[in-house]
Structure 1
């Protein structure tokens, strides 16, 4: 790939949530790579990457746009000196600065100005370097990698943060045990894979709303509609009935319905579109917590990402539908804190989808690996997976960007 082609290729974006100790959503870190085939010298430059992230930052923020949720972006020395952080809103933006940055009077002056103007400063990859003491004095936050430090080293790093009243953020929190340890050590913010791993609660019974949503999912798995069963499931839920009626009466469909008729809804939308909408609604309704909101956003993104990629590859309609279902259901065990076997026992899924969800085996399992690598910003691993699957990086980048737009728009309006 030549330089022009690489520049023209769609960029790869990922967004990683940052949670508070009670699993409230603090904000998102935005990650970026120009293209998988980018050359290190030309395209992996942090400053060029940052400018692109800044330009599209708001596009990827679902839900709360009031300023309560923060945006964390890693800025290099040059982009700070070029005033790039000012492209993002003060009070909402956390400027991450690597601790090993060349720290001179010019950079310190610009960081002080940013802080005065309401931006938050975070020391990235914090190691308490003596030559970065002035950066720590400016910092509102310090990011510590849990996998890169022993417990003793972490405890030592937390001491100067307490003295300077700097908020500690634990990075690479991989499971519930690591989350519990980080809280015990005194971290206030947490980022990592832990929130996507299921914490199975022994003997937990599904709540009535969860059971109702799983029943709706079961009905929508059929290739042919059952108006009676569908009507009973929808009419028993006032909220769902209202939203479906509003959806049917939206300008998109040009209808004028005052009462909900399931046969007419099927006629207007078609069974494919109606069940698509119902499955997404059922998934987003499973739990109202910030953690589950993030999980449902990821599930929507995965489903649409797989669907668009499959369409771009020219896969059959059946395979495309299976891959959408795979993405949509891929985090159900975590959302419901129940074994996937138990959840799927009442859902009539294709064998290949079940194998991927239950055993991470079969041809579809690699698609789940692709989604995880993308979400974590693990670009070298993503490149290997795409080669295995025979998917062009331009297709996957464009599909993921459109999938995020879909998830964002649905979370704002569709639910």
Structure 2
């Protein structure tokens, strides 16, 4: 499954790029297709953090992201790194007391706030008091109105003005002359589309997770168990907390660690973002089923061996063993992004350690290569007869997940 994000640079008066607006795209066509605004923003957030490295696609600069009234009130923005994100308040949002209070909270947490496609109305005065940037659409706003908007400095002297949809040298020179601080538009650059391959979330498991996290007293162990049954979600959670946005130094030794690291409120918000974005996709790949089968097979074999303390690592090496085929890129480039144990990394790269032997045993048994399977079973001191029982248990477990 391919995912897409477009970015358009924003320049300062010295023509330096100070940030990028991240835009929803559903394909290679460089245009917004008028889908629901909530869905578009969730898609941009999910793809920017789960599929790409956030700071890479923004070149370590500010990301300007559109937010609807619903997403502002639900405090979805708080899962994002405030020092790297500008919250764009869409022009169709009514400045109610609820919205103003929600924006004040975001401002207190360190977010930069921008008003998008702004057209002046007195009802915006309270909101203008806390706004950092006002974006003026140079297609909608013409002539002297492009200058008159600077009267808003009487309400908030700290406001910076951004001229957007600047499409000619004349408009750029006019914006410079009037005193605009930032500039965006086709005159400088059209949005650039970035694409990556994504692993879909299991629909049944995703719905189970949504059901669980809607319960205020949900159990972390139950959540961990559901996430571990989903290849895509496990990969995305680990990749997320290993992203440059979180600067994590310690290795991830369990999904529960990842959940605890993010915190209950934040993990729930992240799960909503990725699940609501993914569940509209119905396709499941056979490779995902293979990955789950290998993961459970490795885990159960590990439990029968003398290496029981490596159970989580055994599960993870099986889970990620087909990731290169799923994402169509080298295993080396994949594990570079993951802060998993060196033993798992080495095993995935083919270095013969205990985890790699378990993985080879699982793969050879699955292919019906009995001599090789027996050879690897002896190495970890597990009886080949026990393995046949484990294999049947594994198949039953995968079938119960209801991959479709």
More helix by share: 1
TM-score bracket for the superposition, by shorter chain length: 0.3 to 0.5
